[in-house]
Structure 1
Amino acid sequence: MTTPLPDRAAIARDTARALIEIEAIRISPERPFMFSSGLASPVYIDCRRIISFPNIRERLMDHATAILRAEIGLEAVEAIAGGETAGIPFAAWIAANTRLPMHYVRKRPKGYGPNAQVEGVIPQGQRVLLIEDLTTDGGSKVRFVNALRRAGAQVADCLVIFYYDIFPQTRAMLADHGLRLHSLANWQDILTVADDPGPFNPGDLAEIRAFLDDPLDWSARHGGAARLTL
């Protein structure tokens, strides 16, 4: 039986509106947010807020499950893994939706006991889908995937709630590591919804657009990294 393709544009708009509704978009041009890559940004998408809004989280997890079924294929996934910490609750809900086993992967080995970086029972060669809250440059996704692969998993796909989609080389870098990226929404979706009507004042919106147009230049001018190391 063929899985019907989800309406990706509708999912993107709904996700963007949901993030705006729960005030997950935090803006601070004067005191920029610093990402793990060293990038300075005037805006931060806090997907962790989703966990506190049951109706919205259920809707978004249904969207994620629909994308999993249509774009990856449920038959191609034998377990769901969440990245520490933000990806873990989303992985749990998607695992419940699909009735699949779940694992979670730490940023680094815990440093005591078995010194494990991945928790859960992974049979050798198990096909695992990585779930995360968001990605900017994709670097942390590669580190999580490498940890899962060292634990015996096969990982070909990563599904995130939000993808910044500001660096053209990100998807190519992930492809070089044998990884396909899937997301519910990106910044263009936020801006499309924000223009009709918008939750941001004109000054904030101009700052966001300046960052998205040239994130490395904006970062360098505000004390962050001037180049991206992938």
Structure 2
Amino acid sequence: MMQNIENKVAYITGGTKGIGLGIARALMENGVKVAISGRNIQAAEVAKQTLGSENVLVLQADVRNFEDEVRAVEQVIKTFGKLDVVIANAGIGKFAPVDELTLEDWNAMIDTNLTGVFHTLKATVDQLKQNKGYYISMASLAGTNFFAQAAGYNASKFGVVGFTQAAMLDLRSYGIKCTTIMPGSVSSEFNGHIPNEEDAWKIQPADLGQIVVDLLKMNPNVLPSKIEVRPTKVK
């Protein structure tokens, strides 16, 4: 039994580019009202123009700051009257051998990728309980597959996977669904990359957007709690 998601309200952190922007576009194409946040309000305004709609709410918020998330959620409620879907997507990557990884880079990844995911859920959970909503965290295959020069990034993404799966068990009695999506190589601006034609083999942001749409439309009795996504081919 497919669910109608038209007029649902979604909040996406890190929604100004890449995966977050791809998810925003896919949701809007399916009639969902969308709010996107980022640390840079100018980038958020550019993203709004890219989406080509006045119906998207753009917000300046840093997921490392819990008060920012609380204010962002308050603005979503003020604008749209409710909140049904939360996509915790904001994330960064700093890569170096563990003996060379700086304290600053370690803290930035843990604070953004892991603590930020908690902040986003903490700020939205009351609305999710009220509306039997859906919480989706964007992890990575790096959340189960460790690799060299990624100790900090692996730690943060392993944490996101564990956090979201435990949250799923805590919250499903309220009718809240929780899923973590774990992409492999994605064509995005992550870590300063500029998407180009050589990225055609990679997962595209629109592909992940479609996965989110499919999750939201799924029978309410079914919960894919953890989804690994890989490119069909390796370059």
Identify, as 1 or 2, the structure richer in strand: 1
Both structures adopt the same fold (TM-score exceeding 0.5): no
Pick the structure with greater CA Rg. Answer: 1
What range is the shorter-chain TM-score in?
A: 0.3 to 0.5
TM-score in terms of structure 2 length: 0.33
